[in-house]
A and B are shown apart, each in its own frame.
Chain A
C-alpha cells in the first residue's frame, strides 16, 4: 500500500475544512457542555420536578416492559419504555443523574486533596520520603481495585460511603504520580531557591510557590478523571458493590436489564442508561482535552 504524507498543499480544501471545524469545536467546547447540562446537571438538580414518574414506586402490572415510543407498542406515556416492575426508565435515568454527580464530585475532591498533598511532599522533599510515597503508589496500582471494592462491600454492606472510599483508594495515586513529576521540574527553578533564601518555610514554599504552578495540571487531571470515576462507579454498581438498590444508579440500571436483554425481552432496559453514561463520560473527556490544550499544552499527546 502506498502511503503519502499529506502536506498542506496536497491535503486540499476538504482537509482544511475538517481541521477548521475541529479547531472551532475545540475552541469552544459547546457540545460537551450542552450535553453535560442537559443530561447531567439539570436532571441532577431538578429531578423531582421534571421526571414524569416516581423512580422507585411500582408502576403496576399493566405497565410492565413497555418498549420505547418509536418501537412497536410504545406510547408517549413512557418515552423510553418501562422495566419489569413497570417503572418508567426515563424517570429512573433522570433521578440517577444526582448520584453520578455526587459520587464523581466527592471522589474527585477527596482523592485530589490526598493525592496532591502526597505528590507535593514526595516531589519537594525527595529522598526517602519520596521513595516511600512512590512505592506506596506502586502498591496501590498493583491491587485489583474491583476485588478490593467487592471485599469491602461484603463486610460493610453496599453504601454511598464505601463507593467513595474505594474509588478514592484507587484514584489518589494518579494525582500523586503526576503532581510529583511536575514538582520535580519546578523545585529546581530559581524562584524556589530564592524564596528559601528570603526565609520562607518549606510549608510556605510548597503552598505559595509550587502549588500555584501545578494547579493547571491538577485541574486538567481532575476533569479527565471524572469520566474514569463515573465508569468505575458504574462497574461497581453493575457488580452489586456500588450504591445499593433500589437507587436508580446508572450502572445498576444497566445491570438490572442484563437478564432481560439476554433473554430477548427488554433491550430498552440496558440500552438507555448506558447511553447516558457514554454521553456524560465522553463530555467530561472532551472538556478535559480542551482544558489541557488551553492550560497545559505540553501534555497534549498524553
Chain B
C-alpha cells in the first residue's frame, strides 16, 4: 500500500511538471502582452524597459526556470491588468464563488443521480427505468450554456422566480448550479445503475434477502454501499468537468468567479493570471484523482497490486 501511494504521488508530480511546461508555452503562445498593455505609440525604449520589468527579454528556458521556481511558491507575479495585485491573490479572491457553485452543483447531481440510478436498477426494464434512460440521454445531449440561457428565460424572465445574474442573496446560486450539475447527473446515474445491477445479482444480496432483511434495507444499505465504489472514480473526472463547466456557467450568468476571471485574463492577455488559473485547476484535478486512486486502492485491495 505504501509503495502504491509513493508511486502514485510520484506520477502526480510528474504530470504537474508537464502541465507547467504546457502552461508556460501556452501563455507565450497567446501573443505578446506589449501589444495590449502599452499604447500604440510607445517608443522602442519604453518597450525595452517594459520587457525587462516583466523578464520578457530573457531566453525562454531562463523564463521557464524563473516561472517554475516562483510557481512552486504559488507566486505567478503581479497581474498585468491590475498591476498592484498578485495573480494568485486575484484567483484566490474569486475562487470561493466558484467553489460554492461547484459544491452545490455536485450536491444536486448526487442527490438526483443516486436515487434515480438505484431505482432504475431495482425497477429494471419498467417505465421508470425507461424514463431514467431518456432523462440520461437528454442530459448528455444538452449544451450547458444553452440550458443556462433557457433556465434564465423560463424562470427569471418569464416567471420571475430568480435573478438573471449576479450573486446577491441565496437564490442566485440555484439556476447556475442546475446548469453546472445537469451534465454530470446523466453520467453518474448510468454508472450507479450499472454498478447496482451488478451488485443486485451477487450471492450476499440473496443471502441478505434469505435472512429476512427488509427489501429497502437490502437495496439502500447492503447493495448501495458496495455499488458506490465504481461511481467514486467518476469524482476525479467530475471535478474537472465542474471546473471547466464553471467557466461557461459563470459567463452565462455573469458571475464574478474564477472562470469569469480566466476569460477576462485571456481577453486582456494577462499572462500571470492565466497561468495561475490553469495551474490551480490542474492541481485540483490531479489532487482529486490522486485522492480517488488512493481511496480506491484502500477500498479494493486488488488494485494495489495490479496498478502499482
A residues sitting closer than 8 Å to B (CB atoms) are 1-6, 11, 14-15, 18-19, 22, 135-136, 138-139, 141-148, 150-152, 154-155, 227, 231, 234-235, 238-239, 251, 254-255, 257-258, 261-262, 264, 267, 270-271, 273-274, 277-279, 281-282, 285-286, 301-302
Contact = CB atoms under 8 A, between A and B. Distances in A.
Given A139-B19, A147-B274, A11 B267 contact: no
Interface in B258-308: 262-263, 266-267, 269, 274, 277-278, 281-282, 285-286, 289
B149 A143 contact: no
Contacts of B200: 5
Contact of A285 (B141, B153, B157, B164): B141
B80 interface: no
B74 to A, nearest CB: 18
A197 to B, nearest CB: 29
Given A3-B215, A147-B281, A262-B157, A152 B122 contact: no
Contacts of B127: 14-15, 18
Contacts of B150: 270-271, 274
A31 B282 CA distance: 40
B300 to A, nearest CB: 18
Given A155-B29, A258-B252, A301-B197, A150 B266 contact: yes
A151 B157 contact: no
A6 B125 contact: yes
A227 B143 contact: no
A136 B30 CA distance: 22
A2 to B, nearest CB: 6
B125 A11 contact: yes
Nearest to B23: A143
Contacts of A2: 215-216
A258 B152 CA distance: 10
23 contacts: A3-B215, A11-B126, A19-B125, A139-B15, A141-B285, A142-B15, A142-B282, A142-B286, A143-B278, A144-B243, A144-B282, A146-B248, A147-B278, A234-B145, A254-B146, A262-B156, A262-B157, A278-B138, A278-B146, A281-B141, A282-B141, A301-B197, A302-B194
Contacts of A258: 149, 252
A4 B142 CA distance: 33
Name the prevailing secondary structure of the A interface residues: helix
Contacts of B51: none
B247 A18 contact: no
A227 B244 contact: no
Contact of A151 (B15, B29, B282): B29
Contact of B31 (A4, A143, A155): A155
A301 B247 CA distance: 30
Contacts of B244: 144-147
B145 A235 contact: yes
Given A6-B126, A231-B143, A278-B143, 5 more contacts: A144-B282, A151-B26, A151-B274, A278-B146, A285-B141
B89 interface: no
B102 interface: no
A135 B14 contact: yes
Given A139-B22, A254-B145, A4 B215 contact: yes
B153 A261 contact: yes
B126 to A, nearest CB: 5
B269 A270 contact: no
A22 B130 contact: yes
Contacts of A3: 119, 122-123, 215-216, 219
Nearest to B140: A285
A245 B71 CA distance: 37
B165 interface: yes
Nearest to B130: A18
Contacts of A267: 153, 157
Contact of B141 (A19, A151, A227): A227
A235 B144 contact: yes
B207 interface: no
Contacts of A141: 240, 285
A302 B136 CA distance: 13
Contacts of B15: 135, 138-139, 142
A274 B146 contact: yes
A139 B18 contact: yes
Nearest to B157: A264
Interface in B48-75: none
Contacts of B86: none
B11 interface: yes
Contacts of A257: 149
Contacts of A279: 141
A238 B243 contact: no
Contact of B30 (A152, A235, A239, A286): A152
B143 A234 contact: yes
Contact of B248 (A143, A235, A281, A285): A235
A207 B152 CA distance: 52
A148 B29 CA distance: 10
B27 interface: yes
B124 interface: yes
